Amino acid sequence: MSKGLGTIHQNKTGLYKHREWRGFRDTMFDYYRWLVTWKDMIKMILKAPISIVKGLFRYRWMASYLTTPAFVDRHVEGLRGPQLRMAHLHYNMIVKHATGVIATSFMADEKSNPNNKLSKKIVCLDELIPLEVMAGFPNLIGIPVQTMPIFLVSMVDQQSVPPYLDSVENYGVPADVCPLPSAEAGVAIEDDYPKLGTCMVVCNMPCDGSVMTSSFQDRRFKLPTHVYNVPLRYNGEDVQEYAVNEVKAMIKFIEEQTGETFNWDTFLAALNTYNKQLEFEQQKWDVNKTNYPQLTGASFWLYRLYYYHLSGGFDKRFLEVDKKVNKIMLDSYAKKNPVSKVVRHRAVVWSCPANYYTSFPVWLENCWGINVVMDMETMISMVKFDTTSHEGALGTLAKSYQRTTMRKHTKGGYKNVVDELWRVCEEFKADMVIMYDQISCKGMDGLVGTFEDQFRERKIKFVWVQQDLMDSRTISRRDMREQVNKYMTSVLQEKPVDESLVDFDDTEAW
C-alpha cells in the first residue's frame, strides 16, 4: 500500500498533482486503462457527434460525465496487481455500457431530433426494474430513464445533484425526504430528462419516496404509463401469484403499446446468460468468505449493482468481463495473495451507500486497513432463473425483481435487514460493520435503536457513518471520514495505515 496517497491531490478540488506511482508495470497499466476510458468516451461522441454535443449543452448533468476518468481514478487508488486489473475491467465495462446508453438516449431525444424513428423503439423503464424483461423484445430498447441523468452521474460527480435538489425543494417537497427520488423529481421539474420512448413502465421500488416521485415524472414524460407493482412482503409464497401476474401485465402493456410480441426464445436465452453471470458472482462471494478475499473496495459492489440492473442477460460483454475477472481472481487466490498490503479489519458495509462518495470503501482500505468483504448492495437477488418453462421463468423473474437494490433489505420486514446482517457477518467472518446512517432513509432510520441493541449483544465493532445519499452539502465526504477517524482513534485506538489520508478537504472535487 502506498504511503502518502493524500499528498498526490490538490487541496479542495482533489485534482491530481501527479498520477499515483504504483511501480513501473502497474503505473503503465493504469495509465493505459485511463487512455481506454477516454477512448470509449470519444467513441461515444463519434457515434452521433451532433446529438451528443447538443445533449452536452442542453442537459446540465451531461457535463459531469466528462469527469469519468477521474471517477475511475478515485476508485482504483492504492490498488496493485490483480486487484488493479480486476477493478479496471469492471469500471471499463461500466463506462462502455453507460456511454452506449447515453448515446442512444441523445440520438433518440425528440427535443433535439424531433420525430426520430429510434425514439419509437424505446421503452422507458424505471431504473429499479432490471432489464431482463426487455430481452423478450429484441426489436425494442429498454432505457432506465433515471439512471444516466441522475443516479450514475451522482456517483461520478458529487456536485451534479444539488441543483436538482434545490429545484425540488423550492417547489415545496420537504428536505427530509430521501434525496434520490427527490432529485429525480428535480430533474423532471427542470425538464432535464431526454424526451424519448413510446411508453413508460414505473414501479413501486425501492421505497415510499420512489412511489411518489413517479407522479412528478409522469407529468413531464407524458407517455402511456403502466405501474408495475412488486409485492413488499416478498418472503412469502402467498404473494408470488400476484407478483407473476404483475410481470405478465407489464409484458402485455409493452406488447400493446409497441405492437411487438414477446419473444420467449430470446428471453430464455438471456436468462441463461444471466444465470452464468450469477455463477461468477457466487464465486466472488465464496472467495471473499475465505482468509484470502480478492475483491474488496468499491468495484465489487458498483459492478454488481450495474450489471444486475442493466446487463439484462442479453449484453454478453458483461459475461466476458466476468470470465476475465474471475480468472484473475482465482489465480490470485490460488497464490494466496493478500487483497491489499495491510488488512486489519474484515468489514461488512450495510445500508445504502452515499452516491456522492462511492469510493469511500477505497479510502477505508487505504487509510485504515478496513477491507470491505461484503456489503448490502452486492447482496441483492441471487435467485437463479428457471429456464425450463415459461411459468418457471416468470416466477423466478418475479422473485428476482422483488429483491432489487435497496429494496431487498429495506422491505418485507426488519429481519431482512437486521437478522440478515448478523448472518452475513458470520458467513464472511467480519469483525466490523460500517453502518451507513442514510439520514433520509425512513426504512433504515426506523431500526437504528434495534441495531444499537443487537450489535452490543454481539460485541461487533459497529461504526455508524452518517450520510445523505445524494447531497454532499448536508454531510460531506470529509464529515463521513471524520466519523470513522474518531472511532478508529478513540474507540479502537489504532494508528492509520496512511497518515496523509486521515483528513483532507475535497469539498470542491468531482
Partner 1 sequence: MKDLKHLIYFENLLQEANNDLVQQATKDGKLALGYTCYHMPEVLLNLDNCFSVRLRAPRTGSMDIATYYLSNFLCGYTKALLERAIEGGYNFLSAFLGGETCSEMNRCMEHFEILKLIPNDKFFVSFFDMPFKTDEHCLDSYMQQIKMKVLDKLHDVYGVDTSSDAIRKAVELHNEVCKIISEIGEYRKEENPRITGYEFHILCLISYCCPKYLVIDKLRETLEELKTRVPDAKKNYRAKVVVVGSEMDDPDFTKYIEESGALVVADRFCFGSFPGREEIVINDGEDPLRAVCRHYLKTSQCPRFMEQAKVDNRKAFVAQLAKDYHAEGVIYEQIKFCEFWGYERALASHIITNEYGIPSVSIDRNYTANGTGQLRTRVQAFVESLEIKRIHKAKEAKNK
Please say which residue, 57 or 171, places its beta carbon nearer to partner 1. Answer: 171
In the complex, the smallest distance separating the C-beta of residue 179 from partner 1, rounded to whole angstroms, is 12
405 binds partner 1 (CB under 8 A): no
Residue 238 interacting with partner 1 (CB under 8 A): yes
256: Cβ contacts below 8 Å, ≥ 6 apart = none
443 binds partner 1, rule: CB under 8 A:
yes
- Cell numbers for 342: 495491510
Phi, psi for residue 256 in degrees, rounded to 5:
-65, -40
458 binding partner 1? (CB under 8 A): no
Residue carrying C-alpha cell 459475461: 319
Taking residues 132 to 171 in sequence order and writing x for each that binds partner 1 by CB under 8 A, - otherwise, the string is: ---------------------------------------x
* 402 makes contact with partner 1 (CB under 8 A): no
Q: Is 39 left (phi over 0), alpha (psi -120 to 50) or beta?
A: alpha
450 binds partner 1 (CB under 8 A): yes
CA atoms within a 13 Å half-sphere pointing along the CA-CB vector of 401: 30
> Residue 231 interacts with partner 1 (CB under 8 A)?
yes
| Identified binder of partner 1 from the candidate list 8, 15, 56, 232, rule CB under 8 A | 232
Closest CA to 304 of 361, 248, 344, 342: 361
Please report the sign of the dihedral spanned by the C-alpha atoms of residue 143, residue 147, residue 153, residue 155: negative
C-beta of 159: minimal distance to partner 1 in Å? 25
Q: Give the interface segment with partner 1, choosing from 23-31, 223-231, 373-381, 386-394 (CB under 8 A).
A: 223-231
Q: How far is the CB of 497 from partner 1 (least distance, A)?
A: 32
Shorter beta-carbon distance to partner 1: residue 426 or 452: 452
Phi/psi for 58 (5° steps) reads -80, -40
* Closest distance to partner 1 from the beta carbon of 220 (Å): 12
**Under rule CB under 8 A, residue 452 binds partner 1:** yes
423 binds partner 1 (CB under 8 A): no
Nearer to partner 1, 23 or 224 (CB): 224
State CA 322 to chain mean position distance.
Answer: 17
d(CA 167, CA 160): 13
Minimum distance, C-beta of residue 42 to partner 1, in the bound complex (Å): 40
Site string for partner 1, 172-211 (x = CB under 8 A): xxx-xxx------x----------------x-x--xxx-x
**Nearest-approach distance from CB 457 to partner 1, in angstroms:** 13
Considering the rule CB under 8 A, would residue 57 count as an interface residue with partner 1? no
User: Which is nearer to partner 1, 68 or 440 (by Cβ)?
Assistant: 440
Least distance (Å) between residue 437 CB and partner 1: 8
Three cell numbers, residue 200? 413508460
At 455 the three-state DSSP class reads: helix
Q: Is 406 in the site for partner 1 (CB under 8 A)?
A: no
Among 63, 448, 491, 492, binds partner 1 (CB under 8 A): 448
Among 8, 45, 212, 319, binds partner 1 (CB under 8 A): 212
Does residue 256 interact with partner 1 by CB under 8 A?
Answer: no
Does 446 interact with partner 1 (rule: CB under 8 A)?
Answer: yes
Among 332, 410, 467, 474, binds partner 1 (CB under 8 A): 410
d(CA 156, CA 147): 12
Q: Return the residue of 442, 461, 473, 478 that touches partner 1, per CB under 8 A.
A: 442
Residue number, 26 or 126, with CB nearest to partner 1: 126
242 binds partner 1 (CB under 8 A): yes
- DSSP string covering 275-322: HHHHHHHHHHHHHHHSSS----SSHHHHHHHHHHHHTTTT-THHHHHH
Which set of grid coordinates corresponds to residue 125?
423503464
Give burial (CB, 10 Å; 0-12/13-18/19+) of 509. buried
- Identity of the residue, 8 or 447, whose beta carbon is nearer to partner 1 in the bound complex: 447
Give the contacts of 350 (CB within 8 A, at least 6 positions apart): 375, 376, 417, 421, 433, 434, 435, 436
Beta-carbon contacts of 449 under 8 Å, excluding residues fewer than 6 positions away, are none
Q: Say how many residues touch partner 1, by CB under 8 A.
A: 50
> At closest approach, how far in Å is the CB of 161 from partner 1?
17
Q: Least distance to partner 1 from the beta carbon of 390, Å?
A: 18
Is residue 205 within 8 A of residue 410, CB to CB? The reply is: no
CB 183 within 8 A of CB 150: yes
CB 298 within 8 A of CB 343: no
- Minimum Å gap between C-beta 246 and partner 1 is 8
Among 9, 75, 411, 477, binds partner 1 (CB under 8 A): 411
Q: For residue 350, list its beta bridge partners.
A: 435
| 216 touching partner 1, by CB under 8 A | yes
Q: Does 237 bind partner 1 (CB under 8 A)?
A: no
CB burial of 321-341 (b: ≥16 within 10 Å; e: otherwise) equals bbeebbebbeebbeeebebbe
Euclidean distance between CA atoms 406 and 412, whole angstroms = 12
Binding site for partner 1 (CB under 8 A): 171-174, 176-178, 185, 202, 204, 207-209, 211-216, 218, 225, 227, 229, 231-233, 236, 238-239, 241-242, 245-246, 249, 410-414, 439-440, 442-443, 445-450, 452
